[in-house]
Amino acid sequence: MSRGLNKVMIIGNLGRDPEMRYTPSGRPVTTYSVATSRSWNSNDGEKHTETEWFNIVTWGALAEICKQHLTKGQQVYIEGRLQTRRWEDSDKVRHISVEIVANEMMMLGSRRDSSQFIENVQSDNDENEYSM
């Protein structure tokens, strides 16, 4: 049997402050968005820039660290896996959301001119407890 691989690594800036809540069992989950940008020159020399937004989900101790230390605009490294969630709302409208379930986060640069703070945390992600 062959193994699959679902691993994502991004470096970008937070688009909003993290939001933390708790599952019914009391487990913390934090969500936030991260923007990554890329630039290129077209054949005619015109410069182009494209920004991609990612929804990030963190669990457990990593969720608490993200809520405590991350702020809008801050640059971060995120490592995790892609997850697609599907649900139907009360009006029977189907929704799809693709997000990164992070198991590692590193703060890049300095926060408010303080010394560089880097946090590596492995979390045991459990998407079964997460619902929006």
**pLDDT tens string 10-33:** 999 999 999 999 999 999 999 999
Has residue 41 been placed in a domain? Answer: yes
Long-range contacts of 17-26 (CB under 8 A, 24+ apart): 17/70, 17/71, 17/72, 18/66, 18/67, 18/70, 19/67, 20/63, 20/64, 20/66, 20/67, 23/129, 23/130, 24/129, 25/129
pLDDT in tens, 34-43: 999 999 999 9
Give the pLDDT band of residue 111 (cuts 50, 70, 90). low
Has residue 132 been placed in a domain? Answer: no
Quote the tokens at residue 42: 């077209």
Domain span at residue 45 reads 8-124
Has residue 94 been placed in a domain? Answer: yes
Has residue 131 been placed in a domain? Answer: no
Give the pLDDT band of residue 106 (cuts 50, 70, 90). very high
Find the CATH number of the domain harbouring 109.
Answer: 2.40.50.140
Number of domains in the chain: 1
The Cα–Cα gap between 1 and 118 comes to 38
Has residue 107 been placed in a domain? Answer: yes
Query: For the chain, what percent of residues have pLDDT higher than 90?
Result: 80
Which CA distances in Å does 112 have to 9, 65, 74? 25, 17, 10
Has residue 46 been placed in a domain? Answer: yes
pLDDT of residue 110: 62
